[in-house]
Structure 1
Amino acid sequence: MEMKILEFINMAANNKVIELVVLAIVFDTIFGVLRAVREKRFNSCAGIDGAIRKVGMLISLVFMLAIDMLIKVNLIGFIPEAARNHLGLTSVGVAEFFALLYIAYEVVSIFKNMALCGLPVKKVWATVRAFLGKYTDELPDTDELDGNSTTGSVEGYRQQEK
């Protein structure tokens, strides 16, 4: 029993895709807090909703890693071949599959928060959006970045000086 627990902890600690999720969550939180400071109000990253979402992602990954230990499932067929080759994936368990979805979601949120903080990332955002648009039609709402919203519009902010 003790060996299984140590094996599980080792598997979680050495999973590069899970590490990327944690890194994305940290960056999203940092830029969300900076955005909240700039706007002088909580937002979806720096408020309780964002915290619950982020903790929920991590807890769900722990449970999915446990499922991966019990049941060996390879979901690589659900990952587009171009993305597989780019990421160097040969096997995708349940946890990695959802981790890739979480990473895509967090990357969108990171760039949204960076742009709303006034950082000059509109071109990078357009590239990320185009890349993710190849693989999904369900990108998160970006009205704030596109100027179609009355709250958090990028247009009202001065970009950082070079």
Structure 2
Amino acid sequence: MAWASQIIKVVIVAVVMDTVFGCIRAIKEREFNSCFGIDGAIRKISMLVSVAFLLILDRIVGLNLIGFIPAAARAYLPANHIGVAEFFALLYIAYEVVSILKNMTLCGLPVKRLWQVIRDGLKKYTSELPDNKDEVAPK
């Protein structure tokens, strides 16, 4: 359970960081965005509530989803058991990190190259990120 509490803390930190950078971006652009507004708040609260619910489910069912984590990534995890809550928490962290980097780039912070590498990697696996409206064009 110690691993679960640590990963939940990381999810909370990622949500807070994304909200902060989303607010800074909204101030800079003088308009609401997906991180700062009702849609962003609903998404972030839903992530936290679902992780809390999944922690309860893990206590009842006790599934181990470590097999769904790529072998290369497992070497970095400090656990041999990944419950449903931890599994979704890892996905939420990945989602929030991408959003944080996008917001940092759009705020003008010097992470543009890192964002471009991640964005290009994402294009191999999904067509959903980044959205065209928030695309950071290379200069």
For normalisation by structure 2, the TM-score amounts to 0.87
Of structures 1 and 2, the one with the larger relative CO (CA 8 A, separation 6+) is 2
Give the SS at the match of 1:98. helix
User: Which of the residues 19, 43, 46 maps onto 2:9?
Assistant: 19
User: Which of the residues 133, 138, 141 maps onto 2:129?
Assistant: 141
Aligned ranges 1:7-86 → 2 under 5 Å: 11=1, 15-86=5-76
Kindly provide the amino acid, as one letter, of the partner of residue 130 in structure 2: T
Query: Larger radius of gyration, structure 1 or 2?
Result: 1
Matched, 1:122 2:112: yes
Counterpart-to-counterpart distance in 2, 1:93 and 1:13: 10
Kindly provide the amino acid, as one letter, of the partner of residue 36 in structure 1: A
Structure 2 gaps of 5+ residues are none
Give the SS at the match of 1:86. coil
For normalisation by structure 1, the TM-score amounts to 0.75
Paired residues of 1:12 and 1:65 also in contact (CA < 8 A): no
**Shift of residue 138, structure 1, vs aligned partner:** 2.8
Counterpart-to-counterpart distance in 2, 1:89 and 1:29: 29
Kindly provide the amino acid, as one letter, of the partner of residue 84 in structure 2: V
